[in-house]
Amino acid sequence: MIDLLKNMKIITNNSYICELFNEIIDVIYIKGGYLDVLYAARDKIHLGDILVSHPLMGSLKPNETPYRSILLDEKKGPLCYQSLSIIESSIESYKKLAKDNPTPQWSEKVLKDFQLLDAKFIESALSSLGISI
């Protein structure tokens, strides 16, 4: 498991992800919103990282939750055009949805629920790689 995780990283704006995964995987915390996480992931993809989890994974629309975590594989190789295409279309989807329907102001309880859902999505992505946390 350690070998599989050594090149992995999570880019997130969810502090709960930091608590859960910081000891076993490189977590890059972004102080900002959902779109900031997408931009940070795109920057890493431009440097050669590859998307492991889809930026819009889960059943939540991007404008419905303030949290997003993205799992990347740090290849530092040539640009992966498939990853770039996915992240760019995810950015456009977010902008289109958020323009007409901004993220609501949620209560603390609901925000905690969204943090937990985001963590479950990352756990699912890791599980699909055969990594159980």
3-state secondary structure 54-88: CCCCCCCCCCCCCCCEEEEECCCCCCCHHHHHHHH
Residue 2 has pLDDT above 70, yes or no: no
pLDDT band for 12, please (50, 70, 90 cuts): very high
The structure's pTM equals 0.92
Q: What pLDDT does 17 receive? A: 97
CB 93 within 8 A of CB 62: yes
> Are the CB atoms for 77 and 12 separated by under 8 Å?
no
pLDDT tens track for 22-79: 998 999 999 999 999 999 999 999 999 999 999 998 878 888 899 999 999 998 789 9
